[in-house]
């Protein structure tokens, strides 16, 4: 019984190490067409940077800082270690939370503009419209 428990715990620890390693490395080595963070560094690929104005880039970086401030990467890692699936609903909620963080610290209209430049996905267009509404309320 003790050996079986050791094997199970060892396998789980190996799984957690794999999850941690992928969390740390994937944003740094995977080709990407979007900005991302692993909770420690924010990566904005050159292709993304050259499409955006300085204000839009500032808003995108603020969005990524929102993921870090809300501990999304850590929460996702803990869920993965417990074999909990990262659902599309959870991903969408985290994007909205990061948008809200950025909208409080930068011009939400700039984040909306950046989203439209970088994606035509319906969810990203919804987020851009939502950010335009926030910008209109801020303007007054």
Which of 137, 112, 138, 108 minimizes the C-alpha distance to 126? 112
Q: What is the extent of the structural domain holding 87?
A: 2-139
Axis-axis angle for helices 88-105, 72-81 (nearest 10): 160
Q: State if pTM tops 0.75.
A: yes
Taking all residues of the chain, what is their mean pLDDT, rounded to a whole number?
A: 94
Question: pLDDT tens digits for 98-136?
Answer: 999 999 999 999 999 999 999 999 999 999 999 999 999
Q: What is the pLDDT of residue 28?
A: 79
Q: What is the pLDDT of residue 32?
A: 76
* Residue 137 confidence (pLDDT) above 90: yes
Q: How many domains does the chain have?
A: 1
Which of 140, 67, 133 minimizes the C-alpha distance to 99? 67
* Residue 25 confidence (pLDDT) above 90: no
Q: What is the pLDDT of residue 130?
A: 98
Residues 6+ apart with CB under 8 A from 131: 99, 103, 108, 109, 111, 112, 115
């Amino acid at each position: 019984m003790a050996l079986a428990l050791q094997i199970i715990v060892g396998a789980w620890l190996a799984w957690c190490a794999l999850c941690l390693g992928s969390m740390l490395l994937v944003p740094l080595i995977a080709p990407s067409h979007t900005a991302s963070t692993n909770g420690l560094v924010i990566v904005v690929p050159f292709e993304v940077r050259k499409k955006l104005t300085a204000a839009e880039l500032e808003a995108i970086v603020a969005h990524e800082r929102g993921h870090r401030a809300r501990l999304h990467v850590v929460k996702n890692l803990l869920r993965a270690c417990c074999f909990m699936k990262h659902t599309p609903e959870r991903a969408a909620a985290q994007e909205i939370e990061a948008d809200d963080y950025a909208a409080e610290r930068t011009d939400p209209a700039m984040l909306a503009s950046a989203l439209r430049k970088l994606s035509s996905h319906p969810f990203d267009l919804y987020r851009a419209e939502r950010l335009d509404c926030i910008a209109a309320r801020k303007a007054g």
